[in-house]
């Protein structure tokens, strides 16, 4: 049992309760608890014997704490089991169809004994839906298309992929006279590692009420469109050929701040912010913040004005996940989170000596162009499955080469020696200790045997960081976004020990990794671990591309002090694990 599974059980229970006709606020509290289980840094299994500790988590009360304890003890939740026995598992998938909500699921179940997607598809083909309440021809066609879209849907997208798509669409939209500004919002603006859809805010005179007709037609004529989902006066939603959904929202320039605030979200942040507005005698929507009594507008043009009228500091979009930022902003206690521009060096990169493309000198020149003060050359160690990994002899040669280039470059940048040494299946390292001891930056990483059990993997990493030469744990979970799951690991135990030893955790900023993720970065900070953000470049052109990584650090509320490579070269080395 783990937090993620517990979150899924609670979310499924919420879905089932809603289909079963439960009170909607009660359903909402289950959804809230599911989100809390997923986002909390408390290990729910560890905390299960302490109800008071569970109840400290926002959204977990007395009753939810007891349910969490039951899940840990038995592996299931009786409520969920009973409802599943009544409706069958297929009902959960049915609810996932676009356009399908709890009311329609209940109708189909009561009136036509439909409880799975396949049964629905069969009923549509057989014409069995005709005559059901609220089931006209258009509604039935909508459901048929819903099944088609669901079966074709590809899920979420990596943020770099989403951003590229967004840039194409933004460029098209901006060409329309009267659309002044197109601002990406939603999870893309918040910097989430994956993006469910693109949310684009269009503002300008052509987006003002009663005047949107031409702009809407122009948007709907975007050449990349596969199909249009909805098209109204104030918004257009469509799929592009690659399957990504795009929501374009049109609002007048005077509402820009309220609109951007709304469309940036997150949903949970919006709901709490709107509740705060109500308590203060205001109402907040995407058009404006207005007084409840005479409906006069208090703020609308900028986000700063909205937050300020709510007696809060403005905060970066990355922090808007309802994880304490509303209270912090109201108390004027928001931390100054780290920015990409704070980064002064990059200490994980490969050269042509192993599987990179460039020489040491080329990497150094590229780093100078990025404005960095130092880099470390960290090629792979010799290991099965690694192209061209360095053995002890080649490592020693490379140390010499690095020192030569470093002195030839005459202080324009500092080049540290280093290695990305493999952690073998038993936790030993792939290079001899005497050699590792001669290098500045020793990153230990796992590139093999991802299938080990949680206990084996935890022991393996523990043994590796106990080696006094290891100064950074590289891409600690090994995940590849949307391709390979993180390996099973007791992250809390690793981070606690790493903090004691002074081993820094890497945030690998390659967009397919972003490892550690935002959640584990928050946990690392809580447990006192230092972080190093690195590009893991295999090509000099990728140096400096750590923007998505910086967004993850900000999502974890990390400040420059938490990130070692915001320091100068001397400070960076001093922040690493002390050498014996």
Residues lying near ligand DGT in the complex (CB under 6 A)? 186-187, 192, 195-197, 199, 262-263, 265-267, 270
Structure tokens given for 172? 């098209």
Answer yes or no whether residue 286 interacts with Mg ion by CB under 5 A. no
Is residue 257 involved in binding Mg ion (CB under 5 A)? no
186 touching Mg ion, by CB under 5 A: yes
**270 sits near DNA (criterion: CB under 7 A):** yes
What is the distance between the alpha carbons of residues 338 and 518, in angstroms, rounded to a whole number? Answer: 13
Per CB under 7 A, does 29 bind DNA?
yes
Binding site for Zn ion (CB under 5 A): 445
- Residue 6 C-beta: closest distance to ligand DGT, Å: 21
Q: Which residue is nearest to Mg ion (CB)?
A: 186
SS3 state at 374:
strand
Q: Are 376 and 416 in contact (CB under 8 A)?
A: yes
Report H helices in 280-319.
303-309
Region 426-455 residues binding Mg ion, contact defined as CB under 5 A: none
In 232-328, which ranges are E strands? 235-240, 245-251, 282-284, 289-291, 297-299
Among 26, 291, 333, 412, binds DNA (CB under 7 A): 26
Kindly state the tokens that stand for 233. 């006066």
Q: Return the residue of 18, 165, 199, 346 that touches Mg ion, per CB under 5 A.
A: 199
DSSP state of 492: H
- 181-184 and 531-534 beta bridge pairing: unpaired
Which tokens hold the place of 244?
A: 């990504």
115 binds, among ligand DGT, Mg ion, Zn ion, none (CB under 5 to 8 A by kind): none
Token pair, residue 53, equals: 């500790």
Q: Are the C-beta atoms of residues 510 and 541 closer than 8 Å to each other? A: no
Beta carbon of residue 273, minimum distance to DNA (angstroms, whole number): 8
Work out how close the CB of 385 gets to Zn ion at its nearest, in angstroms, rounded to a whole number.
Answer: 11
How far apart are alpha carbons 313 and 310 in whole angstroms?
9
Q: Which residues within the stretch 399-458 sit at the binding site for DNA (CB under 7 A)?
A: none
Give min distance, CB of 8 to Mg ion, in A.
21
Token pair for residue 279?
Answer: 């308590």
Strand ranges (E), 257-366: 282-284, 289-291, 297-299, 345-346
The residue whose two tokens read 């780290």 is 338
The residue whose Cβ lies closest to ligand DGT is 265
Q: Which stretch binds DNA (CB under 7 A): 132-140, 425-433, 490-498, 504-512?
A: 132-140
Q: Among all chains, which residue has been given the structure tokens 């089991």?
A: 81
The CB-of-273 to ligand DGT minimum distance in angstroms stands at 8
Residue placing its CB nearer to DNA in the complex, 90 or 502 = 90
Biggest alpha carbon distance in the chain?
83
Site for Mg ion in 514-533 (CB under 5 A): none
The residue ranges that bind DNA (CB under 7 A) are: 23, 25-26, 28-30, 32-33, 55, 58-65, 97-105, 134-139, 142, 186, 197, 199, 230-235, 237, 245, 247, 263, 267, 270-271, 274-275, 277-279, 283-287, 330
């Amino acid at each position: 049992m783990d937090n993620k599974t517990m979150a899924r059980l609670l979310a499924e229970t919420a879905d089932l309760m809603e289909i079963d006709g439960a009170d909607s606020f009660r359903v909402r509290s289950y959804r809230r608890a599911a989100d809390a289980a997923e986002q909390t840094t408390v290990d729910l299994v560890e905390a299960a014997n302490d109800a008071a500790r569970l109840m400290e988590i926002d959204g977990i009360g007395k009753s939810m704490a007891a349910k969490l304890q039951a899940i840990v003890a038995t592996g299931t939740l009786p409520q969920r089991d009973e409802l599943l026995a009544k409706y069958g598992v297929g009902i959960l998938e049915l609810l996932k169809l676009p356009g399908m909500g709890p009311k329609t699921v209940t109708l189909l179940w009561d009136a036509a004994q439909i409880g799975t997607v396949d049964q629905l598809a069969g009923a549509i083909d057989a014409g069995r839906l005709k005559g059901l309440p609220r089931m006209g021809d258009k509604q039935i066609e909508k459901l048929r298309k819903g099944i088609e879209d669901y079966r074709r849907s590809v899920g979420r997208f990596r943020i770099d992929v989403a951003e590229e798509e967004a840039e194409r669409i933004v460029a098209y939209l901006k060409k329309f006279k009267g659309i002044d500004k197109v601002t990406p919002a939603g999870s893309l603006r918040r910097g989430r590692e994956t993006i469910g859809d693109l949310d684009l805010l269009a503002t300008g005179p052509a987006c003002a009420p009663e005047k949107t007709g031409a702009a809407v037609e122009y948007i709907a004529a975007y050449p990349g469109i596969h199909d249009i989902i909805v098209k109204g006066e104030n918004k257009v939603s469509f799929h592009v050929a690659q399957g990504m959904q795009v929501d374009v929202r049109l609002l007048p320039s005077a509402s820009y701040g309220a609109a951007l605030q709304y469309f940036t979200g997150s949903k949970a942040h919006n709901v709490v912010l709107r509740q705060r507005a109500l308590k203060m005698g205001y109402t907040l929507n995407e058009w404006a913040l207005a007084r409840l009594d005479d409906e006069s507008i208090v703020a609308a043009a900028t986000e700063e004005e909205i937050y300020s009228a709510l007696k809060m500091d403005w905060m970066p979009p990355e922090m808007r996940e309802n994880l304490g930022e509303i209270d912090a902003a109201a108390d004027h206690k928001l931390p100054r989170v780290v920015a990409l521009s704070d980064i002064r060096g990059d200490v994980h990169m490969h050269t042509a000596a192993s599987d990179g493309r460039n020489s040491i000198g080329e990497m150094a020149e590229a780093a100078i162009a990025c404005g960095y003060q130092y880099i470390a050359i960290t090629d792979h160690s010799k290991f099965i499955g690694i192209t061209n990994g360095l053995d002890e002899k080649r490592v020693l040669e490379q140390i010499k080469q690095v020192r030569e280039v470093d002195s030839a470059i005459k202080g324009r940048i500092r080049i540290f020696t280093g290695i990305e040494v493999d952690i073998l299946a038993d936790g030993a390292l792939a290079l001899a200790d005497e050699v590792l001891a001669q290098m500045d930056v020793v990153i230990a990483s796992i590139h093999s045997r991802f299938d080990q059990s949680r206990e084996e993997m935890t022991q393996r990493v523990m043994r590796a960081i106990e080696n006094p030469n290891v100064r950074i744990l590289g891409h600690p979970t090994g995940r590849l976004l949307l391709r390979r799951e993180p390996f099973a690991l007791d992250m809390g135990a690793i981070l606690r020990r790493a903090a004691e030893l002074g081993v820094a955790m890497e945030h690998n900023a390659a967009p397919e990794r972003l490892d550690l993720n935002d959640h584990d970065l928050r946990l690392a900070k809580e447990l006192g671990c230092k972080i190093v953000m690195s590009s893991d470049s295999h090509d000099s052109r990728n140096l400096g591309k750590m923007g998505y990584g910086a967004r993850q650090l900000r999502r974890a509320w990390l400040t420059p002090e938490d990130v070692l490579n915001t320091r100068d070269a001397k400070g960076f080395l001093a922040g690493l694990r002390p050498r014996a």
